[in-house]
Structure 1
């Protein structure tokens, strides 16, 4: 067997998306690459898993290269689960997700299939990193990203992992290679989407609803991912699957609950 690291590659834009093809080509420089990715776009799917329908996973050949590839009928999280349990010869040394077409900074990580694949790998004890380019165009230029993608993955592969398995969310600004100022280690900016549903009618007169919205950044501080991206830097945010709010945990422990039949009273 090869002594190269095993690299699992996935995404949420689908296995033929230009972003994942750029990522696969970069990862071929670093290890033995296995691609398990959705057979269709799964953007905004979050951490969904397939439970009520069957899953299909077929071996495919997308382009030239030494990588082994499968397209899956499920979600990005399904792809990671299936790769680990049924496809790869052993647990991968790293899971790499992306390169996503469009931002996954700030609040967007809550909805992102790209980032959810990273979290799922992390749950399984695998170092993982998700990459996103701030360009939604299908023909986006991923060349400026490749250098930094390789640098970051090599840092993870060839440096000791600390107390917890590392899990990173990386966003890359839509800039030419010479315009990127460098890399910033950041925290997730506080933000929200101001959304609404437009009521429309299809050609047969049936009413349907179309989600529209505007991104609202509520956090302009210089240590955030939004600031870094706005100012020409690649942002790296360490993430985790533990959603416990530790800032309020001890406060809640001070609550005194009294249980009565049929309901609870707290003081």
Structure 2
């Protein structure tokens, strides 16, 4: 029977409600596997698990219960190991790493920030910043729209300028927000977002971090920012003791 892994806790604080259930239909009972000073919060893994709302909420609820008495290292939804023995073995092999992470992440939460451009606003900005673009646009206008080659050249220049602005804005978003975080983790590139960054923030500093996000919004009106959090610090735990199920990995961590 495969083992579904929710998170890792200090083994000394491994007490969970006896009736705590996790993912699956029917929901699988949750238990704790221990190895030395560490505990893994697990259940049997259901077959054919998909990121349905019911199971996503069950995963989050187990993490909330596990973290009520102390720090928990959250695993992403869909983390499955071959069996209990594999989980216990990996806990032992990576004990130093997990113990360091438990200390480092205690009292911390994750905020994921994604950024994209407001298309009309960024076009106005790149035109204002680029005299060559303005000159070619005006030349085409005076020539009744310009030749096919002129239009093609203008289009290529606009695309290049927008891409350059995307790179600059991505770096600037991270630079302006990272001072309010204790760690930063760049997420995978995805279509539609010029930045996808997770910030590890002291729980007591969360309000100040969100105020910084609002300041970035005000000072960069050509950007659209999406903030997801507070989250368990998924992006600052790896490696975990289980492989992600291919169709479900990371479904809850940073949102889409």
After TM superposition, the score normalised by the length of structure 1 is 0.28
Q: Which has the higher helix share?
A: 2
Q: Structure with the greater relative contact order (CA < 8 A, sep ≥ 6): 1 or 2? A: 2
Q: Which has the higher strand share?
A: 1
